[in-house]
Chain A
Amino acid sequence: MLPEFWFGTIAVLWAGFVLLEGFDFGVGLLLPVLSRDEIDRRIVLRTIGPHWDGNEVWLLVAGGATFAAFPEWYATVFSGFYLPLALILLGLIVRGVCIEYRHKVGTAKERLWCDRGVTAGSLLPAVLLGVALSNWVRGVRMDEGFHMTDSFWQLVSPYALLGGLTTLLLFTFHGAVFVSLRTTDELRDRALGWARRLGPPTVLAAAGWLLWSLALRGSATALGLAAVIALAAVGAVLASRAGREGRAFLGTALASLLVPIFVFACTYPDVLPGRGTPGLSIDAATSSPYTLKVMTVVALVVTPVVLAYEAWTYWVFRQRLTRPPVTAAQLTSA
């Protein structure tokens, strides 16, 4: 009972991470194409400014919860997906520092380097997360001690690459919709334009990836979730075409957050299925009942508080950002 609860909790933590950091990645990816000038770039980055760090914590807590609740899973996945994970970390480090330092460095050239860092640091995790999630669905080769024996190139199958493309497109679409929801005037229009352009390919890639995933490891629940993801993505496309960014955001948010839930539904009752070898099941990976009980109490007490203050920060910064009246002289003096 408790191991299943924690399997579900970790799925929810991943869902929270993908929902929130998904649009952060999208904003980083779109930074070069959405902005016409320095003020645009400042506004685009400010849409995620107060939130991105808190959003990233969802990944850290997902990692920590996996460590505590399923040590075997944590050990197998993080040592097995060694290089992809190292590249994700590299991206996250560069991106975080560049977001924070961009507005503190002195020159336009240094700011440009920070912008490139934000985009590159968003690209790496946006692609590699899809690659990693696909490999969870596809299953990995493991020895009897649950040590992964796949090489890096065996993880980069066509199916996994389609997964990477799907998350890349989905996050970028999600980010475009998010920016359109958080800005006004030209910036909003440009973001909506990108949302319109990104929508259809996102739906295509996602549909292909979902079908391929179901063919590999389908279940009734997974099928249902895949249908909801597809509907939500189509809804987001229609809403963005109609210029309804609020509804479009609901669509991309729902589609994004259900992706990890879908992956977990595919692999259940394994936390990590095998490919030609026995998989790592929830029961084999779980911590002792006492540890799970302790973690459950902590999670039940703390999580509502966390959710409350995180939601509150989004409420505090709910206003759309808009360009100030500004002269060219003021801009160059910056």
Chain B
Amino acid sequence: MSAETLARWQFAITTVYHFIIVPLTIGLSLLVAGFQTAAHRTGRKHWDDAARFYGKLLLVSFAIGVATGIVQEFQFGMNWSEYSRFVGDVFGAPLAMEGLVAFFLESTFLGLWIFGRDRLPPRLHLLSIQLVAVGTVASAYFILAANSWMQHPVGYRFNPETGRAELTSIWALLTNSTQLVTFPHTVLAAGMTGGAVVLGISAWHVRRGGGEHRAMHLQTLRVSAAVVLVCGALVSAVGHVQGQVMTDQQPMKMAAAEALWRTTDHAPFSLFAIGDVSRGENKVDVTIPDGLSILADNDPAATVEGVVDVQADAVARFGPGSYVPVVWLAYWCFRLMIGFGVLAALLALVVLVQSGRHRLEDSPRLLRLAVWGALLPFAANSAGWLFTETARQPWLVYGVLRTADGVSVGPGSGHVLATLVGFTLLYAGLGLVAVRLFLRIGKQGPVEPDQPDADPWLHPGHGDDGSSGAPLEPALVD
């Protein structure tokens, strides 16, 4: 395999993996901040228990997000050095801002939050987790602004003297129309992800009675179901706008998402097709009449461009070559993203209805379903991420730089293969460890801070008194 193919696989594997974790971290940090805020406002113990319990799970996910995020920061230079040379003037700015504004904020205040429980006034301790949540969302803003620029480059010009893209307006980059729909779409999806995980864990405990923390689990079950439902409704509303922006900016992506080969008015939305979608030969094709036209332009009669015609346009604009992404992948990822997301929202709706009728106890199957439902947003996130990145191909920066032209010149395929295998194995190992840990902590449920199972990280010699937490003495610095 060529270094380019290997570098693409490496980027795909490390980035998809990173994006399994990150929405969970964002979602959980928002929820934990919410729980602790509720505890502070109401003074009710079960909110505090929820904040501690889900805070532990947040740390499991955060550690993997941080570890895999380091690779993201340097992979552009390692495997995509020609891309970095060409776009660094534009693309580097949001990346550097992400580090300076968001990474410092989240990591520093997470440390304060973990270790400061007994050292900070409650208000400052609360502020710490709130700032962690702000940091994760700010991080998402900057990195999505960078990605949106790759989808729809704005605020730059090509400088023939230096032979590279140069920033002309940071404001245009940060308020890119693509970004303004991508950011809410992604953060809302992260809310669904965190919500579905809390919902799943709560359902697991409620189905088993919940023990002394039953009230807490019932509370988080209802709240998380509401979060999943509200975020799910909003994510599809934003996604609808996003689809129109995409149709306008990257017509090939929408055409591929629909495996729509010929430009059509009254275009139907294909729900499910059997056959070879990549050749437009569908044996079974369940469609919603006019659906795609409405999706693309809010008008049942609207004309939607097909793959063949967009390809012809692209050849006229950019010269000979294929501008068609992997159509079956785009087609199915688009459907799976929507499908899994809708299922998660429906599940949350049923849980809310049953909960409102006080019938949860009689619905063990629903609760069991809700446990597995925690996986739905992850599947939707991965499908959406694969869709938006692969359906941009062959472009790395849409209409500006091809993926083949962005790959590093220096490192040979042996080097790239070595790191591809190394990172994949490492990530697989970390994934196993993290999932086991997550399940163990999740099943264990909340632990009182003075119990032997409390975090020894915080209580190096737990069991002494438990009230003051860590055994510390006043400073002895000379």
Binding site for B on A (CB under 8 A): 39, 42-43, 45-46, 49-51, 53-54, 56-57, 60-61, 63-72, 74-80, 82-83, 85-86, 89-90, 92-94, 96-97, 100-106, 145, 147-149, 181, 184, 244-246, 287-288, 290-291, 294-295, 298-299, 302-303, 306, 309-310, 313, 316-327, 330, 333-334
Interface residues on chain B, size class:
35 or more
Chain B residues near A68: list those with CB within 8 A. Answer: 88-89, 92-93, 95-96
Chain A residues near B433: list those with CB within 8 A. Answer: 97, 101
Partner of B473, one of A39, A302, A322, A326: A322
Chain B residues near A71: list those with CB within 8 A. Answer: 84-85, 87-89, 92, 164
Q: Is the CB of A42 within 8 A of B411?
A: no
Is B271 an interface position by the 8 A CB rule?
no
Tell me the bound Cα distance from A85 to B477 in angstroms: 38
Nearest 9 pairs between A and B by C-beta? A71-B88, A78-B77, A324-B461, A68-B92, A103-B457, A324-B471, A67-B92, A50-B111, A79-B81
Q: Is the CB of A326 within 8 A of B463?
A: yes
Tell me the bound Cα distance from A101 to B456 in angstroms: 11
Nearest neighbor of B419 in chain A, beta-carbon distance: A86
Q: Is the CB of A42 within 8 A of B460?
A: yes
Is B59 an interface position by the 8 A CB rule?
yes
Is B71 an interface position by the 8 A CB rule?
yes
Q: Is the CB of B93 within 8 A of A295?
A: yes
Q: Is the CB of A65 within 8 A of B422?
A: no
Chain A residues near B79: list those with CB within 8 A. Answer: 79
Tell me which of B99-107, B309-317, B386-394 binds A. Answer: B99-107
Tell me the bound Cα distance from A18 to B227 in angstroms: 42
Is B215 an interface position by the 8 A CB rule?
no
Chain A residues near B107: list those with CB within 8 A. Answer: 53-54, 56-57
Q: Is the CB of B63 within 8 A of A101?
A: yes
Tell me which of B112-120, B260-268, B296-304 binds A. Answer: B112-120
Q: Is the CB of A64 within 8 A of B167?
A: no
Q: Is the CB of A325 within 8 A of B78?
A: no
Give 9 new A-B contacts, CB below 8 A, not counting A67-B77, A68-B96, A104-B455: A45-B457, A71-B84, A104-B60, A147-B410, A287-B92, A291-B90, A321-B460, A321-B470, A321-B471
Partner of A330, one of B56, B111, B463: B463
Chain A's nearest CB lies how many Å from the CB of B419? Answer: 5
29 residue pairs bridging A and B, Cβ less than 8 Å apart: A49-B115, A50-B111, A50-B112, A57-B99, A60-B73, A67-B77, A68-B96, A74-B76, A79-B77, A79-B81, A79-B408, A82-B410, A82-B411, A85-B78, A96-B67, A97-B430, A103-B457, A288-B159, A288-B162, A291-B90, A291-B92, A294-B170, A298-B97, A313-B111, A317-B115, A317-B116, A322-B472, A326-B461, A330-B462
Partner of B89, one of A49, A181, A291: A291
Is B349 an interface position by the 8 A CB rule?
no
Within residues 367 to 415 of chain B, which ones have a CB less than 8 A from any CB in chain A? 408-411, 415
What 1/0 flags go to B451-478 for Cβ under 8 Å of A?
A: 0100111001111100000111111111
Q: Is the CB of B108 within 8 A of A325?
A: no
Among B64, B77, B105, find the residue whose CB has the most chain A CB atoms closer than 10 A. B77
**Majority-rule SS of A interface residues:** helix
Chain B residues near A63: list those with CB within 8 A. Answer: 73-74, 77, 99
Q: Is the CB of B101 within 8 A of A322?
A: no
* Contact flag A65-B96 (CB < 8 Å), given A71-B88, A310-B108: yes
Tell me the bound Cα distance from A60 to B77 in angstroms: 13
Chain A residues near B103: list those with CB within 8 A. Answer: 57, 60-61
Tell me the bound Cα distance from A320 to B410 in angstroms: 49
Chain B's nearest CB lies how many Å from the CB of A261? Answer: 20
Q: Is the CB of A75 within 8 A of B89?
A: no
Chain B residues near A313: list those with CB within 8 A. Answer: 108, 111-112
Chain B residues near A85: list those with CB within 8 A. Answer: 74, 78
Q: Is the CB of A75 within 8 A of B100?
A: no
Chain B residues near A323: list those with CB within 8 A. Answer: 460-461, 471
Is B5 an interface position by the 8 A CB rule?
no
Q: Is the CB of A322 within 8 A of B115?
A: no
Tell me the bound Cα distance from A255 to B124 in angstroms: 35
Partner of A317, one of B64, B119, B167: B119
Among B63, B82, B164, find the residue whose CB has the most chain A CB atoms closer than 10 A. B63
Chain B residues near A43: list those with CB within 8 A. Answer: 460
Is B441 an interface position by the 8 A CB rule?
yes
Chain B residues near A320: list those with CB within 8 A. Answer: 472-473, 475-477
Chain A residues near B422: list those with CB within 8 A. Answer: 86, 90
Is B66 an interface position by the 8 A CB rule?
yes
Q: Is the CB of A184 within 8 A of B67?
A: no
Q: Is the CB of A97 within 8 A of B63?
A: yes
* Contact flag A74-B472 (CB < 8 Å), given A89-B70, A149-B410: no
